[in-house]
Each structure stands twice: as C-alpha cells, then as structure tokens.
Amino acid sequence: MALLQISEPGMSTAPHQHRLAVGIDLGTTNSLVAVVRNSISMVLNDADGSALLPSVVRYLADGNVQVGYPAQALQSDDPVNTIVSVKRFMGRGLADIGDVSNLPYRFANVAATGSGQAPGMVQLRTVAGVKSPVEVSAEILKVLRVRAEAALGGELVGAVITVPAYFDDAQRQATKDAAKLAGLNVLRLLNEPTAAAIAYGLDNAAEGVYAVYDLGGGTFDISILRLSQGVFEVLATNGNSALGGDDFDHRIYCWLLEKNNLSALGAQDTRLLLTHARAVKEQLSDYPEARITAILSAGDVIDTTLTRQDFYDMTQTLLAHTMQPMRRALRDAGLTVSDIKGVVMVGGSTRMPQVQRAVGEFFKQTPLTNLDPDKVVALGAAIQANVLAGNRQDDDWLLLDVIPLSLGLETMGGLTEKVIPRNSTIPTARAQEFTTFKDGQTAMGIHVVQGERELVSDCRSLARFELRGIPSMVAGAARIRVTFQVDADGLLNVSAREMSSGVEAAITVKPSYGLSDAEITRMLEDSNQFAQDDMKARALREQQVEAKQLLEAVQNALQQDGAALLGKEEQERIAGSMAALRETLQATDHLALKRAIANLNEATVAFAQARMDSNVAHALSGRKLSELES
C-alpha cells in the first residue's frame, strides 16, 4: 500500500490528492531539489545517494542527453557539446555575455524557432543541433523532477524555483520557460537569499536583521533582511550577476597559463585546466597547498604547486568586488554594520577560508554556517513550496478565521461527503470529483449540507441546486467536478462542472447563518456520541446502494437476454433471489443485506457467463477464421 507522511494539523489530503511540491535550486554549478516531509525540509538524493546534480548537460550525436556527473566526467573530452554554467546564458544575448573567447562553445546566430528557442538569447551549436539555454536548463530540471517523483511516489503539483535576486525579467522568464519545458508547474520564483533566510529564519526562529552573503558558482548576491516572528522583510539587495566561484577557477587557470608560458589553448585543454583549477580551489579550503599535474593534448606537461597564500593574493580583487555591493546594500537599507545581527553564508564558494575571513572582517562577526551552504537555498525553497501548495497552516496570519462545521454534499444513499473539513481556515477552496449513478443520467442534484454526521438526515441542509445538460453516458463515466469555495467573509460558493462538456451550475450560501454556538456544540457532540451508530448506518446505506445497482443491472440483463439464454427453472431461481434481496432491502441489518447481495451474485454467475459467450459468438459470427487471425 501507499506510504503516508505526517501532515500538519488539519491538513490531511484526500487519497491520491497529495499536494507534492518541491523547492529547486537551479544553480550555475550544481542544482538540487528539496521537499518538506513530515514537516521537515530535506534535500532529495539520487539513487547513488548524492544530493548535488552538477548543472552540466552533454548532447550526444544519437540524440541522447547526459545530465550531471556522467556529463561532467566527459566535459574535458567533449567540451563543445558539454554545456556547463548554462545559467550565465539564461535570458542573455551574445552582447550581454561579454568576452566569450575563453568559452569552448560554438555560439550560433540563428533565428528563434519552436518552443524553448527564445528570441534574442544566445544559442549553442551542438552535435544534436542548436540548443537554447532554456532547453539546456530544462534538461537539468527534468532530471530533478524525475528524481523527486520517484522519491515522493507521485506527480508534483508544482515547484518553487530559486533565482538570483539580480535576475532581470528576461532571465526570470527564461527560467520559467525552462521549467515549463521540463513539465514543472512553477508555483513561484523565489530570490535565492530570501530562500536561505526562510531556511534559517524558520528553522532557527532567530529574530533580527540579517545579511545573506551568497557566493555561488556564477553569481553573487548580498541581501539585507529583517526577520521577526517568522516573517521576513527584504530591506535591500545588491550584487553582481557575473561573479562567482567560476571566476576563482578562472584566476587559477590564468595563473597556470602564465606560469607555464601557455597561450591560446584549444577547447579541450581549456576545459581540462579549468577542471583542475576547480579541484585545486576546493583542496585549498582544507590544505595549505595543492599540486596540479596535467598533460595537454600537444604533450606539454604541467606540474605546479599552488599555495593558499598565493591563491588568496590572486583572488583578493574578486573578494573586493563583493565588498562594494555589501556597502551599497547597507546604505540602501539605512543601516550600518553594527545593526547586523547575523550573517548567513550561502553557496559552495563560501567554503573558501578567505571568503569567510573577509566577510567576518567586514561585518565584525563570525558568519553563520550551521546549514550546508550548498543546500540552504533548496531547503528554503522547499519550505516555501510547501506553504504555497497549501500543506501548512500559516500560523503567522492573524486575520485567520475557521469554519465551525464541515461542509459537504449528499451522495447516493443519503450519505454525507465532506468536502471542506471543519476548522479549515478561510478563505479556502476544495474540489472533488463525482460521477453519475445511472446510465444516461443527464442531471445531478447537488445538496449542500453542513455537519459532522454520516447521514444527510442528521446534518443541516444549506442549499440544493441541479446540474443539467450532462451528456448521456454510462453510469460512472461522467466526471463532475464540484468546487466548494469559502471566501474571507464566510460566504460559501458551490459550483459543479461536467468536465467533458463544460456545463456548469453554481449557488452561493452563507453557511453559518442562523446557527448559534450552542447548536454548533450540540452537532459536534452528537457526531462523537453516535460514532458507532453512524458507522453501522453508513455500512447499511452503502449496501443498499449496491443492492439497488445490482437489482437494476440484473433486471436489464433479464429483459435483454433472459428468455433466450435461460431455462424456465433458472429464470425462477434468479427471480427468487431478486425478490429476497428486495425484501431484505427494507430491513436494517447490513450483514443480512450483504448476504442477499452475495446470493443474487451467485445465482447470476452462469447467466453472466452465458451472456458473455453469446456476445462473443455474435461478434465473431459470419467472419472467416483467417480474418480473425490477421
């Protein structure tokens, strides 16, 4: 059976209606997907247990696409078709990117065609054809979507995707387009520093003004946020959309060229040295020096050692570039360094000791690093996605009101089907699908009721209306979506819509009208007191509905084929069982009714078999065997 998760109070979902929503950090270097399960935000790992998906996409000549580690492993061998850091090209024209001489890609100058080929955006010529950054990003998102659906066991209702605070409209739109192409419904785009603040603010519930220093693979953002009672307010943001860990790699790369008197390397060698540069950078976070050995395609051997101090010195100017936006952001917020209560570090590049030291010196305090800087954005995005999908009651809203009694409607047999459970916060809207009971049914009565009891007769009737014009179909084929909507003023609007034809009907009622507090209390008490009775009553009504359906089906079958297929004796036996069932229908013993249903079912087994054989024979008659075999 399905595996269930614990919901927040009052937020249980109907079967097959789990509101699975994820947070996605679509990063320059790595991407992640996270989700809130059992009220805890967690990053989802792939089958090998790794959380990070390298944002690397490789196109193959046969049309296949590799994403993540397999693509990354081959980026030195196949640099032209292996796209790394595609985020830098999102929503960008060639002119926006600047110096492309160090990039191994073949940029295409083609007119935009088809979906994903955004006009004005750079295009990359690969062995599998011309690809836009939107298409490349969509490949990354697709992998994350599939990973999430496998881990959560169902389709996603949507995702919150994070973007740098500095992304402009074109870049944001490109991100949305990529998500759409990947089959994701974007609940919201969220600024990365804000997502980090959500992860820290809500998990640790620490109030005050915080700075979020986010140095990712390709972007730098500084945000000044005020957190109070779980609500965050963005006071100022600043940054540089073309500065990140990649630039630190590039400094090492340039140093390598200089040190070894190299110039104008081919695409493959460029990629090889950049990969080594990144590895060296990561090693220097833990060791005072790191060695680089590589053999270039022309046979040149590189064997050099880089010390931490040299690395600090050559990246000093990059760090200085992050200080200027920090000063500007503080000035915009009207604050000074002494107002900042804490500094949140985000992005893998903040693992570099010189970054932590420089930020610490600037803000005169040790930055916060207790959440994994690579995961913090995705964790915050997941928390936001969970709220937007409606899985959490927003405690922070003070203007909340709840409905005192469940709202529902009458189903066959006089049973109550609750659509909005009591204590749901308003405004709220819930929809449920129903179907027809009889063949050719063209209208459906909708009876709106209020209360906790199982039988409609024990609940309070609020309104009745009818949905007409349902196309004639067999019983159970029509799909009628009934939506209950309660607005902030407590007004209930019920609408019904037949999904295939679009016919619609609606009614507005004010549910709490005329009910005193004492009446509401009595209705609730009754519902608890009569739990056992209600359970039996429901069982009885369900059996009654089943019995009536069966009687009708047998009656129809008898009229059509009874005389042709059955002997007199058998017809009498079936008629006897039917009469017995009709009689039991009046009784209140659901077990006796169940037995009578079983009896009639048994009595008609041979008849049903005969009907099926006769139908098959009818369908096949007059046709040659050869026709059937072909």
Partner 1 sequence: MGISLTDNAAKHVLNFIAKRGKGVGLRVGVRTTGCSGMAYKLEFADALGEGDLQFSSHGVTLLVDPKSLPYIDGMELDYTREGLNEGFKFNNPNVKDECGCGESFKV
Residue type, 443: A
The region of 56-64, 84-92, 130-138, 538-546 touching partner 1 under the rule CB under 8 A is: 538-546
Near partner 1 by CB under 8 A: residue from 2, 95, 298, 518: 2
Torsion of CA 262, 263, 265, 269, to 10 degrees: 20
Nearer to partner 1, 266 or 476 (CB): 476
Taking CA atoms, 308 is separated from 277, 279, 292, 321, 603, in Å, by 13, 13, 13, 20, 88
Near partner 1 by CB under 8 A: residue from 289, 310, 439, 542: 542
Query: Using the 8-state DSSP alphabet, how is residue 299 labeled?
Result: S
- 292 in Cβ contact with 276 (< 8 Å): yes
> What number of chain residues touch partner 1 (CB under 8 A)?
48
CA–CA separation, 475 and 367 (whole Å): 65
- 452 in Cβ contact with 519 (< 8 Å): no
The region of 167-175, 233-241, 282-290, 535-543 touching partner 1 under the rule CB under 8 A is: 535-543
207 lies in the site for partner 1, by CB under 8 A: no
563 lies in the site for partner 1, by CB under 8 A: no
- 578 in Cβ contact with 599 (< 8 Å): no
Smallest distance, Å, CB 309 to partner 1? 42
The region of 25-33, 117-125, 212-220, 531-539 touching partner 1 under the rule CB under 8 A is: 531-539
What is the pattern of x (binds partner 1, CB under 8 A) and - over residues 405-434?
A: ------xx--xxxx--x------------x
* 443 beta partners: 468
Q: Clarify whether 46 is annotated catalytic.
A: no
Nearer to partner 1, 82 or 406 (CB): 406
539 lies in the site for partner 1, by CB under 8 A: yes
Q: Which residue has the tokens 């990246």?
A: 315
Q: Clarify whether 155 is annotated catalytic.
A: no
Q: Clarify whether 466 is annotated catalytic.
A: no
Smallest distance, Å, CB 432 to partner 1? 8
- 493 in Cβ contact with 485 (< 8 Å): yes
538 lies in the site for partner 1, by CB under 8 A: yes
CA–CA separation, 113 and 131 (whole Å): 11
Smallest distance, Å, CB 84 to partner 1? 27
Smallest distance, Å, CB 499 to partner 1? 17
Pairs from 584-587 (Cβ < 8 Å, separation ≥ 24) = 584/547, 585/544, 585/547, 585/548
Smallest distance, Å, CB 47 to partner 1? 7
* C-alpha neighbours within 13 Å on the C-beta side of residue 513: 11
Nearer to partner 1, 7 or 493 (CB): 7
Near partner 1 by CB under 8 A: residue from 400, 443, 531, 598: 531
Smallest distance, Å, CB 318 to partner 1? 37
Q: Clarify whether 401 is annotated catalytic.
A: no
Smallest distance, Å, CB 237 to partner 1? 29
CA–CA separation, 162 and 487 (whole Å): 31
CA–CA separation, 436 and 415 (whole Å): 15
Near partner 1 by CB under 8 A: residue from 158, 354, 534, 603: 534
Nearer to partner 1, 37 or 328 (CB): 37
Taking CA atoms, 161 is separated from 222, 378, 383, 611, in Å, by 19, 8, 12, 57
Interhelix angle 192-204/376-388, nearest 10 degrees: 80
Smallest distance, Å, CB 177 to partner 1? 28
Nearer to partner 1, 40 or 579 (CB): 40
Taking CA atoms, 375 is separated from 31, 283, 578, in Å, by 9, 20, 66
231 lies in the site for partner 1, by CB under 8 A: no
271 lies in the site for partner 1, by CB under 8 A: no
Near partner 1 by CB under 8 A: residue from 70, 93, 120, 153: 153
Taking CA atoms, 74 is separated from 32, 90, 268, 272, 465, in Å, by 21, 23, 10, 10, 65
Nearest of 491, 497, 465 to residue 479 by alpha carbon: 497
* 222 beta partners: 213, 238
Q: In the range 5-34, which residues lie near partner 1 by CB under 8 A?
A: 5-12, 14-16
Q: Pick the catalytic residue: 214, 249, 269, 374?
A: 214
Give the H/E segment covering residue 497.
strand 492-498
150 lies in the site for partner 1, by CB under 8 A: yes
Q: In the range 448-467, which residues lie near partner 1 by CB under 8 A?
A: 452, 454
Residue type, 287: Y
56 lies in the site for partner 1, by CB under 8 A: no
Catalytic residues: 25, 87, 192, 214
Instruction: Please report, as ranges, the residues that interact with partner 1 according to CB under 8 A.
Output: 1-12, 14-16, 37-40, 44, 47, 147, 150-153, 205, 411-412, 415-418, 421, 434-435, 452, 454, 527-528, 531-532, 534-535, 538-539, 542, 545
